[in-house]
Chain A
Amino acid sequence: MVDITLMVNGVTRTGSAEPRKTLADFLREDLELTGTHLGCEHGVCGACTVIVDGRAVRSCLMLAVQAAGAEVTTIEGLALDGALGALQQAMWDSHSFQCGFCTPGFVMQATALLSAHPDADEQQIREALSGNICRCTGYQSIIEGVLLAAERNRQG
């Protein structure tokens, strides 16, 4: 077991993990942050996307021990004091969800996009979300939600 200290959603967290444990499993099992979902567990579906040191990564393709010292943001870090963040609200308003399983991955990937490009256009949004799989919505409502967030950003 390896001791790990990292920052998750602005809070210093510690734990210990076998080297083979993925960051996704560490977040879910050790830190009890089960908002990060695991679909395929081999880097194809994007459900487990979290933000590590400012960039979207697949937490099933990163070891927990590799996150030592990193700053991690998960879906639980977006709603401050229980209020939806701006992106979450825009996706809510656009009915961007059906079963919700893929939602945390989409929201984290879109969060990374909008923090780099607050006024991202549709092409950028489609490109950024192209690695996330949703089996119910048909994607259009998800794109619309992120577009609405970008539009609200433009209007300030």
Chain B
Amino acid sequence: MKLPPVEYEAPATVAEAVDLLGEHQDEASVLAGGQSLIPLLALRLARPALLIDINGLQELAGVSASNGWVAVGAMTREYAAEESSLIADTVPLLAAALPLIGHEAIRSRGTIGGSLAHADPSAELPAVALALDAELVVRSRSGERVIPADEWFEGFLTTTRGADELLVEVRFPRAPQATDVSFTEVARRHGDFAIVGLAASVTLSDGAIKDARLAFCGVSDVPVRAALAEDLLVGEQPSASLFEEAARLATADLDPPADLHGSSEYRKKVAATLVRRGLHAAVGNADERQ
């Protein structure tokens, strides 16, 4: 499948990119790593008149820390984030999810911002952003605004980003002390899109759970936070029966979509299993670190 004809601009600055986006809005698609957009073009599922290629915008690539947050430029490639010791040390849930994205050659090009702007509900990064209450910074000709992750994901491949807005940065909070994490998923083959995945982060204090974060991918048209289960866990001592109850609460209201990879009922069962598995993995790690 070849790509359909399309106009192409490669702006040299973020300001130029934002101007182009302001001018063309819905007629334009922003080309970041291209690992999802190029297939969408090839399959004729996206038909933009113009591609705005932001690969030349070095100012959008890089990881930095400030005031309890870690800022990841939207054009930071997934392999670069994977190699970042700052991310490994301060945002362990992101570090745990990165190696599960696609395959090595995909992560060579794919970007943090691209994955979050594409908002595939089966992808890992949207679940991570939601679990951690990440913030997404978008820029338009009228300025910048910061969108919390729980207001970002609107539907299947749809976000609340305005047509004139460019995602420029994603901010993740630094993990507190004694936090550990797991990203568990079930996929047909390693590297395939997850049938269901779970981002889990647990902070312990004196043996009790002080903070718990759970977010699924692959169970809806958006990533889903398991707030009821998180509330149950906080203040409790980790135990198998607690995790069992958390799994029940986390999945009680789920109504996952069915496709050729699994029925709705199957996905729900996998989701419950991942809650138990993910919590055991995370708490086991956190215990060792205490």
Contact = CB atoms under 8 A, between A and B. Distances in A.
A61 B109 contact: yes
B4 interface: yes
B39 A18 contact: no
B109 A62 contact: yes
A62 B34 contact: yes
B104 A66 contact: no
Contacts, number: 87
Contact of A58 (B1, B41, B105): B105
Interface stretch (A94-102, A124-132, A140-148): A124-132
Interface string A57-90: 1101111011000000000000000000000000
Nearest to B3: A20
A109 B108 CA distance: 11
B55 interface: yes
Nearest to A49: B105
Given A42-B43, A56-B108, A130-B189, A22 B3 contact: yes
A contact patch SS:
mixed
A25 B1 CA distance: 11
Nearest to B33: A61
Given A19-B7, A25-B2, A131 B103 contact: yes
Interface string B86-129: 00000000000000001111101100000000000000000000
Interface residues of A, number: 30
Contact of B105 (A20, A21, A65, A131): A131
Interface in A10-54: 18-22, 25, 41-43, 46, 49, 52
Given A56-B104, A57-B105, A131-B103, A63 B34 contact: yes
Contacts of A18: 5
Interface residues on chain B, size class: 20 to 34
A30 B38 CA distance: 20
Contact of A42 (B31, B42, B102, B189): B42
B44 to A, nearest CB: 11
A68 to B, nearest CB: 9
A60 B109 CA distance: 12
Given A55-B79, A61-B34, A63-B34, A131 B106 contact: yes
A56 B189 contact: no
Contact of A65 (B8, B102, B103): B8
B35 A20 contact: no
Given A20-B3, A42-B1, A57 B8 contact: no
B108 A43 contact: no
Contacts of A112: 104-105
Which of B4, B55, B109: most chain A CB closer than 10 A?
A: B109
B6 interface: yes
A113 B103 CA distance: 13
A54 B39 CA distance: 23
Interface in B154-180: none
Interface of A: 2, 18-22, 25, 41-43, 46, 49, 52, 55-58, 60-63, 65-66, 109, 112-113, 127-128, 130-131
Given A20-B2, A20-B5, 4 more contacts: A20-B41, A21-B3, A42-B43, A62-B34
